[in-house]
Amino acid sequence: MKLNSEEVNAIALESRLLLTEEELSNAVRYINNFLDMLDRFKELNLENVEPFSFAETLECPLREDTVISFTNTQAIFDESEHVDGAFFKVPRIMEE
Amino acid sequence: MELYELNLSFLVEGLKAKKFSPLEVYESCKNRIEKCEKNIHALITRTEDFAKSQLNENNNGILAGVPTILKDNLCTKGIKTTAASKILGDWRPPYDATAWKDLREAGAVLMGKANMDEFAMGNTCGNSAYGATHNPNDISRVPGGSSGGSAAAVSAGYVPFSLGSDTGGSIRQPASFCGVYGLKPTYGMVSRYGLISYGSSLDQIGPFARTVRDLQLVMSVISQYDPMDSSCFRGKKFDFTHSEDVSVKGKKIALVKEFQDFKLDTPISDAMKKVQKILEDEGAIITEVSLPVVARYAVACYYALAMSEAHTNLERYDGIRLGYTVKDASGIKEMFERVRSYGFGSEVKSRIIAGTCLTEPSRCEEYYVAATKVRTLIAQEFTKAFEDVDFILQPVTPSLPQKIGENDDDEMKSYATDLYTLPVNLAGLPGLSFFTGYSGNLPVGLQLIGKRWSDPEILNTGIILERHLGTPKIANGGE
């Protein structure tokens, strides 16, 4: 086993996920099976291989740098319960 | 014959010739949905009222008055869009996805948003916060996924065509399971602007329909350059004009050597033989290509990349700007944790954790970077293969659709069944899932793959295959 439940729980917390005991036990099994599957990469010599990119999009097509007006901002605010005037209001960021 | 039974091209011709009205078509499709939806549950949100309001817009476009359905990960302005996840709540996007905007401008009217696996993660359409969709050919079985609702809706005659998305087979596998045609276009051919992201280097929007000709018609509308999607390739023109005067004479169509030893359900291996014979009789040359890296490493490579990208894409769901939220959190960390822990389903959580794990600095080189390099080898293997052959013929899945609830408890074994579809996404290729006939009441599909941008040629070959194999019938939808 590559990762124990403590390590998997720490990764889950990094992802801002709180797992139940059952979820954690499933996640431990899942991650370890998954990492075992990825072990087969070690059979390949990847030293001189470049990471993948689509040949045609190596040069990312750029748009003209012009302002496009978006008039439907109210529709965006309407979807949030954390709006204060023209701003999103979030809970405190600094921990006490 | 009822109007809902008409395939897209006939429907378009009939509407144009005023043999029937858009309202009559709308009523027929609406009644069909009413009749079958309790058995199939293909839709998360029904939008018949919106469709009816669209009929008053007097659109004269090529799809004027044609009902359609979109997978619920395509943004629709002012209409609830969920990606089948609790975390999006009742979110109404402030804009339309480009593919839907193109269809809407061409006159298509929206009858509903289709069920799917949450955030497109799954291959059964059972991993949805809104319950499972059933296969319209046999409601005890899965319709495939993740675009299972879109495929089931076309199969059952709700609408003549729909849109789905395909990250590792999510159009082609449900098309095969439901007995319709599905195209995963070349990466970069159809704009993904407004598609809720899963694996951005793999995601592609594409159509479902009951004939190949209908796929051509839809592709002619949605294969447009869009500056809002930087993967959309500028400067290419694609001709999806339908013609019956098509040929595969002299074309080289390959089977994958390494796949020959893998076990297939008998109806699928029988279909492979039948289709080879048809192509040979039409003058094609059946040959073989070797894809050893694909066969051994594609599944691991795909899931390493898909999960890494998913974990990044899903970081944005924090409960602040949209969707499910809590109002009494004491701090931002508590808010994120409560929103995400409640909002995401278990498969999504597993994939986020796996993606976080693979991209951590201590493991990134060993797993994520290695996977991006393996992907290069896979793409190179395909490029080399397509120097010698025109198309690759292969199954979509090794088995026919399983019973609902008969999922493999070992996720890795379940992932391995995606071997025939996901290499196509890794290399950004087009793939057509086509109907070959029935085994009992279950449809049997196969897949044709081509080099990048060969989508029009693949569909032309599909026209020939459909001529020989027949057009799928509308499923009984549990009635």
Q: Domains in chain B and their CATH numbers? A: 1-479 (3.90.1300.10)
In a domain, A50, yes or no: no
How many Å lie between the alpha carbon of A69 and the closest alpha carbon of chain B?
Answer: 13
Tell me the DSSP string of B322-389: SSS--S--SSHHHHHHHHHHHHS-HHHHHHHHHHHHHHSHHHHIIIIIHHHHHHHHHHHHHHHHHHH-
Instruction: For chain A, say whether B346 makes contact (Cβ under 8 Å).
Output: yes
CB contact under 8 Å between B428 and A54, yes or no, is yes
Residue to test with chain A: of B101, B121, B303, B357, most A Cβ within 10 A? B357
Strand partners, B287: B254
Instruction: For chain A, say whether B187 makes contact (Cβ under 8 Å).
Output: yes
Question: Residue B78 in 3-state DSSP?
Answer: coil
Tens-digit pLDDT string for chain B (479 aa): 999 999 999 999 999 999 999 999 999 999 999 999 999 999 999 999 999 999 999 899 999 999 999 999 999 999 999 999 999 999 999 999 999 999 999 999 999 999 999 999 999 999 999 999 999 999 999 999 999 999 999 999 999 999 999 999 999 999 999 999 999 999 999 999 999 999 999 999 999 999 999 999 999 999 999 989 988 888 788 999 999 999 999 999 999 999 999 999 999 999 999 999 999 999 999 999 999 999 999 999 999 999 999 999 999 999 999 999 999 999 999 999 999 999 999 999 999 999 999 999 999 999 999 999 999 999 999 999 999 999 999 999 999 999 998 876 778 888 888 999 999 999 999 999 999 999 999 999 999 999 999 999 999 999 999 999 999 999 999 98
Helix (H) or strand (E) segment spanning residue B280: helix B266-281
Given this model, what pLDDT does residue A59 score?
A: 59
Given this model, what pLDDT does residue B21 score?
A: 97
Given this model, what pLDDT does residue B224 score?
A: 93
Helix (H) or strand (E) segment spanning residue B394: strand B391-395
Range of the domain at A37: 5-43
Are B98 and B228 in contact by the 8 Å Cβ rule? The answer is yes
State yes or no: cis peptide before B146, omega within 30 of 0. Answer: yes
Length of chain B: 479
- Rounded to whole angstroms, the Cα distance separating B232 from B192 reads 8
In a domain, A49, yes or no: no
In a domain, A21, yes or no: yes
In a domain, A20, yes or no: yes
- The interface predicted TM-score of the complex, written ipTM, equals 0.93
CB contact under 8 Å between A51 and B376, yes or no, is yes
Question: Residue A67 in 3-state DSSP?
Answer: coil
Instruction: For chain A, say whether B276 makes contact (Cβ under 8 Å).
Output: no
> Structure tokens of B48?
């018949």
Strand partners, B165: B205
> Structure tokens of B210?
């009951």
Tell me the DSSP string of B241-254: ---S----TT-EEE
> Structure tokens of B80?
């609830």
**Domains held by chain A: number:** 1
Question: Residue B307 in 3-state DSSP?
Answer: helix
Given this model, what pLDDT does residue B233 score?
A: 82
In a domain, A14, yes or no: yes
In a domain, A34, yes or no: yes
How many Å lie between the alpha carbon of B341 and the closest alpha carbon of chain A?
Answer: 5
Given this model, what pLDDT does residue A96 score?
A: 63
Taking only the tens place, the pLDDT of each residue in A9-64 is: 999 999 999 999 999 999 999 999 999 999 999 999 999 999 998 766 555 667 78
In a domain, A33, yes or no: yes
B258-262 CB contacts, 8 Å cutoff, 24+ apart? B258/B290, B258/B291, B258/B292, B258/B294, B258/B295, B258/B296, B259/B295, B259/B394, B259/B395, B259/B419, B259/B420, B262/B398, B262/B419
Question: Residue B404 in 3-state DSSP?
Answer: coil
From the list A40, A61, A90, which residue is nearest B332 (CB)?
A90
In a domain, A19, yes or no: yes
- Rounded to whole angstroms, the Cα distance separating B468 from B276 reads 12
CB contact under 8 Å between B356 and A93, yes or no, is no
> Structure tokens of B26?
């709308």
Given this model, what pLDDT does residue B139 score?
A: 98
Window B:81-100, CB contacts with A under 8 Å: 91-92, 94-95
- Rounded to whole angstroms, the Cα distance separating B309 from B119 reads 12
- Rounded to whole angstroms, the Cα distance separating B447 from B428 reads 15
Window B:112-141, CB contacts with A under 8 Å: none
